[in-house]
Amino acid sequence: MIPAPDTPVSGQWRAVTGRPAAVAALQRLRAELHTHRIHPEISYDEGLPRLVLNRALTVWTDHAGTVYCWGAGFQEEPADHAPAEELQQVARQLAERFGEHYVEPEPATTTP
């Protein structure tokens, strides 16, 4: 079922169907941020996907999901940016910028 136009659900539907690469990149970053004990939600306000870490830190991507951008406001300048291939480094930078709640992730252990 396709949602009615100009409803909150229709904005989310447009973001997922119109920017699947951007949504996938944000989902990967969101999962990586979980290792830093940061649990942002993906927001679809105005039909554009983004991660909202707090009121002062928002993350978005280009249409193709190849570049992460982050700053105080969605699509506002100045914004920091990095290639999506640098997922772990981006997550670490965001975690450090997130502030006092940053916790270094525990090293992965392998069990035989």
pLDDT tens-place string over residues 49-108: 999 888 888 999 998 999 999 988 877 776 899 999 999 999 999 998 877 545 555 665
Q: What is the pLDDT of residues 40-62, one digit of tens each?
A: 988 887 778 999 888 888 999 99
- Going by the DSSP 8-state scheme, the letter that residue 77 receives in this structure is S
> What's phi and psi for 40, nearest 5 deg?
-80, 160
Please name every residue paired with 51 in a beta bridge, in sequence order, or none if there are none: 42, 59
Please name every residue paired with 52 in a beta bridge, in sequence order, or none if there are none: 41, 58
Sign (positive or negative) of CA dihedral 80, 37, 52, 54: negative
22: CB partners within 8 A, 6+ apart: 15, 49, 60, 61, 62, 63, 64, 65
